[in-house]
Amino acid sequence: DTEVTQTPKHLVMGMTNKKSLKCEQHMGHRAMYWYKQKAKKPPELMFVYSYEKLSINESVPSRFSPECPNSSLLNLHLHALQPEDSALYLCASSHLTPGLARGYEQYFGPGTRLTVT
Amino acid sequence: AQKITQTQPGMFVQEKEAVTLDCTYDTSDPSYGLFWYKQPSSGEMIFLIYQGSYDQQNATEGRYSLNFQKARKSANLVISASQLGDSAMYFCAMRGYNFNKFYFGSGTKLNVKP
């Protein structure tokens, strides 16, 4: 099973709202990722969690707040977003242990399409 | 620094024919990995194939093969017998020593014509 699930599929929020994106995987992966993708562009890395600890923050504005409650779940809390934050938000996961995945390939969820009005 | 270049913004191929999507890379890491992902219009990034920098043989996965030419720093994706369902955006990606961090190319939009 190589499935990563994300909820919701679509989200429309105002600039004063607080919302959360959720991601879940049951592949035993110990690394989880958040990416932001604008139309016709490659994904841009936002955050990486390794063994439930934040290991990479790509200088993301504080209006985005990640959380990794356990090894299967990843959240992205959103607050006071701007219209330019409208994008597809992708979650991914991968193994960290040598031997479990030859390439440490990342498996992606279907994404959440976020519109900020 | 790592860099991935895809020079074909869009390509057309006739159904049942083979197509090659180009990817070149640059890295100073002696060990690295190269990946191809497919992204249909629905949005999900689908992992297709992986090639390690020390792999002697080119990777193959069903109709997908990776033409790895290390000296030329290229990792082209070959799709044999194209199908209508292959119409999608294709991204080449690389990771170096920091295997948590992937670098993506700008993508190639493939259209398969019936």
Burial class from Cβ neighbours inside 10 Å (0-12, 13-18, 19+) for residue A78 reads: buried
Give the whole-angstrom CA distance, residue A58 versus residue A47: 6
Q: Is the pLDDT of residue A1 over 70?
A: no
**Neighbouring residues of A96: CB distance < 8 A, sequence distance ≥ 6:** A29, A30, A31, A50, A51, A104, B100
CB A50 within 8 A of CB A36: no
Residue A66 sits at the chain B interface (C-beta within 8 Å): no
Q: Is the pLDDT of residue A100 over 80?
A: no
What percentage of chain A has pLDDT greater than the value 90? 91
Give the whole-angstrom CA distance, residue B37 versus residue B45: 6
Note the pLDDT tens digit of each residue in A24-42.
999 999 999 999 999 999 9
Distance from CA of B80 to the nearest CA of A (A): 23
Residue B95 sits at the chain A interface (C-beta within 8 Å): yes
Residue B43 sits at the chain A interface (C-beta within 8 Å): yes
Query: Dihedral of the CA atoms A100, A106, A110, A113 (nearest 10)?
Result: 150
Q: Is the pLDDT of residue A78 over 80?
A: yes
Residue A27 sits at the chain B interface (C-beta within 8 Å): no
Note the pLDDT tens digit of each residue in B43-53.
999 999 999 99
β-strand pairing of A64-70 with A73-79 = antiparallel
Of the residues A108, A113, A115, the best mutation for testing chain B's interface (the one with the most B CB atoms within 10 Å of its CB) is A108
**Between B45, B105, B106, which is nearest A108 by CB?**
B45
Confidence grade of residue B111 (pLDDT, cut at 50, 70, 90): very high
Determine, for residues B107 and A42 on separate chains, whether the beta-carbon distance falls below 8 Å.
Answer: yes
Confidence grade of residue B83 (pLDDT, cut at 50, 70, 90): very high
